[in-house]
């Protein structure tokens, strides 16, 4: 039932948002879902300004992720014991020019910050197609 709702809801998002099915975060709910790893993206990222051409191109991807924020919660809770409510906020678009990857980072602040600051999800897309490749989830320690 949940999968059917995701497919119906996501088909509307995809036609309105201008992104393809291979780019939607809803793929994490599919049988052939991309991998989700614990930890941080292993490549070197250069943070892009909001006016950068690739940041602008990532706008529909951001809209897709933010309309499916529940999926971010599922990705984290499936891998990390997170008891706090998870409210994710967009942090940045990063570029790994060596590996031709674009990374969107989302962060949810921990309500009780005695152990760690919160949780992050990094969503990785291949360039130039912006095909969803994988995600990384991590509990972010206090610094």
Print burial letters for 3-15: b (CB count within 10 Å at least 16), e (below 16). eeebeeebeebbe
CA angle, corner 138, sides to 23 and 53, nearest 5?
40
pLDDT tens digits, one per residue of 90-136:
999 999 999 999 999 999 998 877 888 999 999 999 999 999 999 99
* End-to-end CA separation in angstroms for the chain: 42
- The SS3 assignment for 123 reads strand
- pTM, two decimals, is 0.85
- Which stretch of 10-24, 73-87, 119-133 has the lowest confidence by average pLDDT? 10-24
Prior bond to 47 cis, omega within 30? no
Looking at residue 142, what is its pLDDT? 87
Sequence spans of domains, the chain = 2-141
pLDDT tens digits, 21-30: 889 999 999 9
Length of the chain: 143
Q: Give the residue carrying structure tokens 């690739």.
A: 54
Task: Say which residue, 132 or 80, is predicted with more confidence.
Answer: 132
């Amino acid at each position: 039932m949940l999968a059917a709702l995701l497919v119906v809801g996501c088909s509307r998002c995809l036609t309105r948002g201008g992104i393809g099915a291979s780019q939607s975060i809803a793929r994490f709910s599919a049988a052939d879902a991309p991998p989700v790893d614990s930890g941080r993206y292993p490549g070197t990222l250069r943070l892009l300004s909001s006016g950068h051409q690739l940041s602008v191109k990532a706008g529909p991807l951001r809209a897709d992720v933010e309309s499916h924020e529940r999926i971010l919660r599922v990705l984290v809770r499936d891998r990390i014991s997170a008891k706090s409510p998870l409210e994710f906020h967009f942090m940045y678009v990063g570029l790994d020019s060596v590996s031709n990857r674009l990374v969107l980072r989302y962060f949810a602040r921990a309500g009780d910050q005695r152990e760690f600051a919160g949780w992050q999800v990094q969503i990785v897309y291949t360039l130039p197609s912006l095909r969803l490749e994988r995600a990384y989830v991590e509990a972010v320690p206090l610094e």
